[in-house]
């Protein structure tokens, strides 16, 4: 489970090397370098998305505290350009705020007044959106010595002048023909910008690359899965892949296996630098296809999927790894946020990392050795494993979870969306608690049954499972049960006891990330359009501010001229609203408003009133097609369209709800969109490479059948007939 190369013990004795030895003074900005990011400073700046290198998202500021947080109001706000998911944490340096938005755009504001300073649009080809598994989002920028760094959906890493927004350099870190996209945050360590990417579902081989921060020249690359041809890559990962990782994958080639798919293992979010040990930690993603029986013939643990991997930041050389979900088969990534801390164990200080990945267990891992110290559930009702063996570090799996072996339907908790996804969690040193935005979303897994699921396709997810089965049966009570079981929870988890100290239930899933402060506060936004503050020690709710739209991102806090502010983004988007269908529940009626909101004590600015939204009246076109046509249309819709337009064609206010689209009423219009790609500029590309005109028409018949179902049932389901708030 844990393998080491080289003298790891020596790593613990390394001197802290956090950047170049001299600061670079940039006019108008304090020198944000490795020395600064090691501590995060006095809290006046929020200089990186996780606040400091330990990524605790904890601010030392106390001006806003548990006694006066009820007086928070809006200081200023700014509407953002694209009504897609907004997942970035605002970065603030010397009174200037930098925010990345959908389609990888970057905006700069005066952090006190909200005045726009500059904007940058990388002009991403919107057709690239079809390769973004979970919306065209961006989780934030990095700031380093007067430069702002951002990754783009089309695979570029770009350096911008922080003062002007002018592009300084651009590195194409992904092949444009690849299925990868960048949605994560770059990290800058010792004058190197480190970036990964996503795209495992579409067929990608994961890697992380480091670039020189001043020039954009590549410094090193580390691959997280073996070379499909068995050849060296000329990369930092060559030795460990040859000596350890490759033997954990099936040796005999098989159609659709890892050699054909790339294996997955993309590092789409968590990349964390340990300044104390001079180590870099990668959170590695899921396999491709998900189905371990197809991906690796049911053989091997498949390193480094679903693992934490430690590297040397200067060279990318492997140090250690711990695999959280061996032989991963459920999309249980380890890419969720990583927090670094020091914990008392047996009377000694132990350098640990905290991790709450998709699989539902909270891990405490020794940062020096990579040994798993504890693994405890942070949600109830986990169905894939009963726990972990502390001697071997391996999960105690439940046999029925291996759908690829049983061939039977497996009802799972967590789902592929996880018990915790990308949403930031935070740690408060005073309470010793980690604040996790947890998810309760069930799912069904089944080996492929439909012909279009048996083989890899150029467009759409390639999971090796029966996505066509994801549609809900036409049973009102079943749909209501699914909606009721889908919820969220704020979990204040105590790593020392392995249990939650307190929790807060949310009626909807996909709530925002958390941020905590020395003012005994935890901040979190909700999917229902609220921004809340809780007492960090007890969980008592102290603030509930209506912000009109959902909150996905984590907040940041900072001071300008001695006054403390709290900043966050609103919107709907990301994976869950796109794929939830009826499970979107109460959040489906919340407006999608992309906006940056900044609060301060006594803030008096009011948001614009929401427009009146009349109840939607279903007026479906006439049904057509045979039962076989509609069934075929369902199968193809679930295979190619579900991940953007929802199971059963039920949209949740991000991308068009196709049941309400005028295109379904006319065969020619539908064909022009689905087959001819007339809306390519909006991200809706042609599906002619995987669908015939006849199959597209069968899909239209299926969508129309869902409109008729909605007309009859939606009022009873709390669905599309309700007006937005």
Do β-strands 514-517 and 499-506 pair in parallel, antiparallel, or remain unpaired? unpaired
Q: Which residues pair with 517 in a beta bridge?
A: 59, 521
DSSP 364: E
Question: What is the rounded distance in angstroms from the CA atom of residue 10 to the CA atom of residue 14?
Answer: 7
Question: Is residue 4 within 8 Å of 320, Cβ to Cβ?
Answer: yes
Check whether 422 is labelled as a binding-site residue: yes
Tokens at 522, concatenated: 């935890």
> What CA–CA distances, in Å, run from 334 to 304, 494, 709?
10, 20, 39
* 331 assigned to a ligand binding site: yes
331 is catalytic: yes
- Determine whether the annotation assigns residue 58 to a binding site: no
Q: At what angle do helices 693-717 and 627-640 cross, to 10 degrees?
A: 90
DSSP, collapsed to helix, strand or coil, labels residue 714 as helix
Q: What are the DSSP calls for 130-172, one per residue?
A: GG-BTBS-----EEETTEEEEE-TTSEEEEEETTT--EEEEEE
User: Is 652 annotated in some ligand binding site?
Assistant: no
The C-alpha atoms of residue 395 and residue 402 are separated, in whole angstroms, by: 13
What Å distances lie between residue 642 and 344, 421, 586, 635, CA to CA?
A: 47, 19, 20, 10
Which SS3 state, helix, strand or coil, does residue 494 take? strand
266 annotated as belonging to a binding site for a ligand? yes
276 known member of a binding site: no
Quickly count: other Cβ atoms within 10 Å of residue 680's Cβ.
16
Separation between Cα atoms, residue 35 and residue 615, nearest integer Å = 56
Does residue 18 sit in helix, strand or coil? Answer: coil
Was 644 annotated as part of a binding site?
Answer: yes
- Residue 248 tokens read as 């954990």
Residues 6+ apart with CB under 8 A from 22: none
Scored b (16 or more CB within 10 A) or e, 551-561 reads bbbbbbbbbbe
Tokens of 389: 């063996």
Rounded distance, CA 1 to CA 241, Å?
Answer: 15
Token pair for residue 651? 């949209």
The annotation status of 133 as a binding-site residue, yes or no, is no
Closest-CA residue to 292 (of 256, 322, 323, 335)? 256
Tokens of 310: 């430690």
Q: Is 199 marked within a binding site?
A: yes
In angstroms, rounded to a whole number, what is the distance separating the alpha carbons of residues 695 and 698? 5
Catalytic option among 269, 274, 301, 331: 331
- According to DSSP H, which parts of 40-117 are helical? none
201 assigned to a ligand binding site = yes
Beta strands in 405-458 (DSSP E): 410-412, 426-428, 433-440, 443-445
Beta-sheet strands, E only, within 382-529: 385-388, 395-397, 410-412, 426-428, 433-440, 443-445, 487-494, 499-506, 514-517, 521-525
Report the largest interatomic distance among the alpha carbons of the chain, rounded to a whole angstrom: 73
Give the C-alpha separation, 569 to 591, whole Å: 14
Residue pair 42/350 in contact (Cβ under 8 Å)? The answer is no
- 298 labelled ligand-binding: no
Angle at 203 between CA 199 and CA 206, to 5 degrees: 60
Q: Are 466 and 291 in contact (CB under 8 A)?
A: no
* DSSP assignment letter at 245: I
Backbone angles phi, psi at 219, to 5 degrees: -100, -45
Residue of 669, 662, 670 whose CA lies nearest to 698: 670
Closest among 374, 342, 341 to 497, alpha carbons compared = 374
Contact 537, 65 (CB under 8 A): no
Q: Distance between terminal CA atoms of the chain?
A: 50
User: Is residue 358 part of an annotated ligand binding site?
Assistant: yes
Alpha-carbon distance 567 to 635, whole Å? 43
Which residues are part of the catalytic machinery? 331
Q: Which residues are annotated as a binding site for heme c?
A: 641, 644-645, 684
Q: Which residues are annotated as a binding site?
A: 87, 139, 183, 199-201, 266, 286, 331, 358, 421-422, 641, 644-645, 684
Q: Which residues are annotated as a binding site for pyrroloquinoline quinone?
A: 87, 139, 183, 199-200, 266, 358, 421-422
Q: Which residues are annotated as a binding site for Ca(2+)?
A: 201, 286, 331
């Amino acid at each position: 489970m844990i393998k080491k190369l080289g003298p790891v013990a020596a790593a613990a004795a390394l001197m802290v090397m956090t950047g170049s030895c001299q600061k670079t003074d940039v006019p108008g900005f304090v020198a944000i370098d490795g020395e600064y990011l090691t501590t995060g400073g006095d809290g006046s700046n929020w200089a990186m998305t996780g606040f400091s290198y330990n990524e605790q998202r904890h601010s030392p500021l106390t001006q806003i505290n548990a006694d006066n947080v009820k007086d928070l109001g809006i200081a200023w706000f700014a509407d953002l350009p694209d009504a897609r998911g907004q997942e970035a944490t605002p970065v603030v340096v010397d009174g200037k705020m930098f925010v990345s938005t959908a389609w990888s755009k970057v905006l700069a504001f005066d952090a006190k007044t909200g005045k726009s300073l500059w904007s940058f649009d990388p002009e991403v080809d919107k057709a690239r959106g079809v390769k973004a598994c979970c919306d065209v989002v961006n989780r934030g920028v990095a700031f380093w010595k007067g430069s702002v760094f951002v990754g783009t959906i089309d695979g570029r890493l770009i350096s911008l002048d922080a003062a002007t927004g002018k592009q300084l350099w651009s590195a194409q870190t992904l092949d444009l023909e690849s299925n990868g996209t960048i949605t994560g945050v770059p990290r800058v360590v010792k004058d190197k910008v480190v970036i990964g990417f996503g795209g495992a579902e579409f067929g990608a081989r994961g890697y992380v690359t480091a670039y020189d921060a001043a020039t954009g020249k590549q410094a090193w690359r580390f691959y997280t899965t073996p070379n499909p041809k068995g050849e060296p890559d000329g990369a930092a990962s060559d030795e460990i892949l040859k000596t350890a990782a490759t033997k954990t994958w099936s040796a005999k080639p098989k159609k659709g296996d890892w050699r054909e798919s790339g294996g997955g293992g993309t590092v789409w979010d968590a990349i964390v630098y340990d300044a104390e040990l001079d180590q870099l930690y990668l959170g590695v993603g899921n396999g491709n296809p998900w189905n371990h029986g197809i991906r690796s013939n049911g053989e091997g643990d498949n390193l480094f999927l679903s693992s934490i991997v430690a590297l040397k930041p200067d060279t990318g050389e492997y140090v250690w790894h711990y695999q959280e979900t061996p032989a991963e088969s459920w999309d249980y990534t380890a890419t969720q946020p990583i927090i670094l801390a020091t914990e008392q164990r047996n009377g000694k200080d132990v350098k640990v990392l905290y991790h709450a990945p998709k699989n539902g267990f909270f891990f405490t891992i020794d940062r020096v050795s990579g040994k798993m110290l504890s693994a405890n559930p942070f949600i109830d009702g986990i169905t894939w494993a009963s726990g972990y063996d502390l001697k071997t570090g391996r999960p105690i799996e439940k046999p029925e979870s291996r759908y690829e072996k049983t061939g039977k339907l497996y009802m799972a908790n967590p789902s592929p969306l996880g018990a915790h996804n990308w949403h930031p969690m935070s740690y408060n040193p005073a309470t010793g608690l980690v604040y996790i935005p947890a998810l309760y979303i069930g799912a069904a897994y089944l080996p492929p049954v439909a012909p279009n699921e048996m083989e890899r396709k150029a467009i759409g997810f390639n999971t090796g499972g029966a996505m066509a089965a994801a549609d809900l049966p036409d049973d009102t009570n079943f749909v209501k049960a699914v909606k009721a079981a889908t919820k969220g929870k704020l979990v204040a988890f105590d790593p020392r006891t392995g249990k939650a100290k307190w929790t807060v239930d949310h009626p909807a899933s996909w709530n925002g990330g958390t941020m905590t402060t020395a003012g005994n506060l935890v901040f979190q936004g909700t999917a229902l359009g609220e921004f809340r503050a809780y007492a960090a020690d007890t969980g008592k709710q102290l603030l509930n501010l209506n912000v009109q739209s959902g909150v996905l991102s984590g907040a940041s806090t900072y001071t300008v001229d001695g006054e403390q502010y709290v900043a966050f983004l609103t919107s709907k988007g990301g994976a869950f609203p796109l794929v939830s269908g009826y499970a979107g529940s109460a959040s489906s009626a919340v407006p999608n408003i992309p906006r940056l909101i900044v609060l301060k004590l006594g803030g008096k600015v009011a948001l614009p009133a929401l427009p009146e939204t009349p109840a939607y009246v279903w007026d479906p076109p006439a049904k057509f097609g045979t039962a076989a046509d509609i069934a075929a249309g369902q199968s193809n819709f679930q295979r190619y369209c579900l991940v953007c337009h929802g199971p059963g064609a039920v949209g949740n206010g991000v991308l068009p709800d196709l049941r309400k689209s005028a295109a379904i009423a006319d065969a020619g219009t539908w064909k022009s969109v689905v087959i001819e790609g007339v809306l390519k500029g909006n991200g809706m590309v042609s599906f002619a490479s995987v669908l015939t005109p006849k199959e597209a028409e069968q899909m239209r018949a299926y969508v129309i059948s869902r409109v008729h179902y909605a007309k009859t049932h939606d009022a009873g389901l709390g669905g599309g007939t309700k007006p937005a708030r």
